[in-house]
Structure 1
Amino acid sequence: MIICGQSGDHFEEIKNVLKLLYPLTSEPIDTKTLRVLINEDYQTAMTHHIRLSRKSISARNSKQAAYLDSINTHDITFAVGPAGTGKTYLAVSKAIECFEKGEVQRLIFVRPAVEAGEKLGFLPGDLVEKVLPYLRPIYDALYEMIGFKETQKLIQTDIIEILPLAFMRGRTLNESFIILDEAQNTTIMQMKMFLTRMGFGSKTVITGDITQVDLPKGIDSGLAHAIQLFRHFSDISIHTFTSREVVRHPLVSKIVDCYDNEMERIKK
């Protein structure tokens, strides 16, 4: 490869970008990754890789890199912020990495089964059909990272469990990687119940967006309460994302900002 240009044309920056791209060349490099490398603090972000048997995943900005560091160094990590910041996706990929390395024996993915006023009792079909709409984002991430067949195999052998939060009651989960997604829709007591399920050798990640609470009026979010309760607790990491870290279509972060600004205006 030959790079042509004048001496002052960001030569060192381009060289650094190419060096960071090289470890990723085992699979196609998409435009999102290129955009991050050019526009973000790429030297911090792109040195954080999650290498799975099926694919390699990299942090796309310094906040995501710090988030991965938090998961590595803490048994409990909270990740709070808008959709599109990679909270759940990175947590799922980290869980798979830990399993493939033999650091945990099971992967437990949990979501509250009450959102936007819907309860399981009012949904048609058997239990699987009832909970599937709530758990679909986790299935999608698993299918992408380890494939449909491997996901189904691990589910059938109970190595992977994907279940509604209510099914966690009374359990103690040892040597497990546990993820609670959409945690803003837990009550305070549900959050307490979930956090006390963690056993020896386990790691827990809680993700959510406290601006998107679907609980009935007058019921406090367990996520918002936990963030305040543990904000000075050094053994628990609380990681906050903003619209600036949204890594979906560039318009998504602008849309998030518009809604956030409107909500602030209404509050005033």
Structure 2
Amino acid sequence: MTTQLTTVHLDLVPQDSDRLAVLCGPFDDNIKQIERRLGLEIVYKDAHFQIIGEHRYAQACNDLLKELYIETQPIRGKTATLTDGDVHLALQDLIANHRLLEIRLAEAKTGTQSLTIKTKRGVIKPRGENQSQYVSNILSNDISFGIGPAGTGKTYLAVACAVEALERQEVRRILLTRPAVEAGEKLGFLPGDLSQKVDPYLRPLYDALFEMLGFEKVEKLIEKNIIEIAPLAYMRGRTLNDAFIILDESQNTTVEQMKMFLTRIGFNSTAVITGDITQIDLPRHQKSGLRHVIEVLNDVEEISFSFFTADDVVRHPVVARIVKAYEAFERKVEIESEKS
């Protein structure tokens, strides 16, 4: 069904060029942020604004611009300011008050609209209840964790959500990272430059991007730094705004690395952390940051945890049976060790 667009006209009064400049931001950055987040177009001349988009989003934007314009009133003769953070928080309140996200999720639950991820290469639909809940959590929370065995779609669905957010202009870039920890074997010296050294660790992320965007598009976006793929160590000291960030293989982070990563997240950013706590490749004396964070953040608002089991594996059926066999064997070992 084609989305019906509407145009909402808005005149901001009193007309004040200084206040309008504050509202729009330098180089219209505030207007662009609103357009990206709400998926609409804003055209203005002086104090007259045209908002073009889906009806409920256009009406919500109309209310938002009025509220932000009130915030531009001079205080004790001093010119007011509107930072990226101010606009981001206003958008967060707007989305909550107008229930824009809840409408999409409710439609999916009632069957009037499936909870799908749309990219230019096609539509990706979650399989099963756990995958649907995982996607719902990513859409409705700033930070989401996907925890479970290999083959349950944790990374693939996270990358799909990131691609959709980028194509809808809800974020400016995608950042994919994972710790460079060898899986139980020493690879020794790796030839080549930095990119060539870390690429083997990041290959699953590349594969998902190539499938959803195509090789040439991915290469162009990487060249423009719109997509960045880097080892976790390169996140230290950064603040990541307007980004969709995915930390893959997070079971191989230390407690310090996990804390460092989570505190990098800035305004208008979404973070998804995936991992499998049964496949930790850290030295035995180091505690996994993923295991630790489950205990620390389990009750924090705007952070969600999705747990997958062998029943959610979407690879070859034998993979699910392998995962279950390992789980049964590990339970048996634990019981025997407790008895002894």
Bin for the TM-score computed over the shorter chain: 0.7 to 0.9
Q: Match for residue 104 of structure 2?
A: none
User: TM-score normalized by structure 1?
Assistant: 0.81
Deviation at 1:214, TM superposition (A): 0.1
Q: Match for residue 14 of structure 1?
A: none
Q: Match for residue 161 of structure 1?
A: 228
2:115 aligned residue (35, 40, 48): 48
Q: Match for residue 217 of structure 1?
A: 284
Matched, 1:178 2:245: yes
Deviation at 1:261, TM superposition (A): 0.8
Stretches of structure 1 that go unaligned for 5 or more consecutive residues are 1-41
Q: Match for residue 27 of structure 1?
A: none
Q: Given residue 315 of structure 2, which amino acid in structure 1 is its aligned partner?
A: R
Instruction: Give the distance between the partners of 2:331 and 2:169, measured in 1 at CA.
Output: 46
Deviations 1:48-82 (A, max 9, x none): 21111111100111111100110011000010000
Aligned length: 226
Matched, 1:100 2:100: no
Task: Write out aligned runs for 1:113-192 (5 A).
Answer: 113-117=180-184, 122-192=189-259
2:305 aligned residue (229, 238, 252): 238
**Which one has a bigger Cα radius of gyration?**
2
Relative distance call for 1:98 and 1:233 in structure 2 (3 A) is: same
Relative distance call for 1:120 and 1:199 in structure 2 (3 A) is: farther
Deviations 1:1-43 (A, max 9, x none): xxxxxxxxxxxxxxxxxxxxxxxxxxxxxxxxxxxxxxxxx99
Q: Match for residue 34 of structure 1?
A: none
Matched, 1:206 2:206: no
Q: Given residue 145 of structure 1, which amino acid in structure 2 is its aligned partner?
A: M
CA contact (8 A) 1:113 1:119 kept: no
Relative distance call for 1:125 and 1:118 in structure 2 (3 A) is: farther
SS for the counterpart of 1:122 is coil
Relative distance call for 1:120 and 1:172 in structure 2 (3 A) is: farther
Q: Match for residue 15 of structure 1?
A: none
Instruction: Give the distance between the partners of 2:188 and 2:263, measured in 1 at CA.
Output: 26
Deviations 1:127-150 (A, max 9, x none): 112101100000000000000000
Q: Match for residue 144 of structure 2?
A: 77
Instruction: Give the distance between the partners of 1:160 and 1:67, measured in 2 at CA.
Output: 23
Q: Given residue 245 of structure 1, which amino acid in structure 2 is its aligned partner?
A: D
Instruction: Give the distance between the partners of 1:166 and 1:119, measured in 2 at CA.
Output: 19
Instruction: Give the distance between the partners of 1:118 and 1:151, measured in 2 at CA.
Output: 30
Q: Given residue 104 of structure 1, which amino acid in structure 2 is its aligned partner?
A: V
Q: Given residue 169 of structure 1, which amino acid in structure 2 is its aligned partner?
A: R
Instruction: Give the distance between the partners of 1:61 and 1:69, measured in 2 at CA.
Output: 12
CA contact (8 A) 1:113 1:120 kept: no
Deviation at 1:124, TM superposition (A): 2.8
Percent identity between matched residues is: 56
Q: Given residue 155 of structure 2, which amino acid in structure 1 is its aligned partner?
A: T
Instruction: Give the distance between the partners of 2:116 and 2:326, measured in 1 at CA.
Output: 32
CA contact (8 A) 1:92 1:141 kept: yes
1:255 aligned residue (295, 300, 322): 322
Relative distance call for 1:227 and 1:267 in structure 2 (3 A) is: same
Instruction: Give the distance between the partners of 1:119 and 1:73, measured in 2 at CA.
Output: 40
SS for the counterpart of 1:70 is helix
2:177 aligned residue (92, 100, 110): 110
Matched, 1:67 2:134: yes
Instruction: Give the distance between the partners of 1:198 and 1:120, measured in 2 at CA.
Output: 32
Task: Write out aligned runs for 1:17-32 (5 A).
Answer: none
Stretches of structure 2 that go unaligned for 5 or more consecutive residues are 1-108, 336-340
User: TM-score normalized by structure 2?
Assistant: 0.64
Q: Given residue 56 of structure 1, which amino acid in structure 2 is its aligned partner?
A: V
Instruction: Give the distance between the partners of 1:49 and 1:209, measured in 2 at CA.
Output: 25
- Give the structure, 1 or 2, with the largest relative contact order (CA under 8 Å, sep 6 or more): 1
Instruction: Give the distance between the partners of 1:92 and 1:147, measured in 2 at CA.
Output: 13
Deviation at 1:265, TM superposition (A): 1.3
Q: Match for residue 91 of structure 1?
A: 158
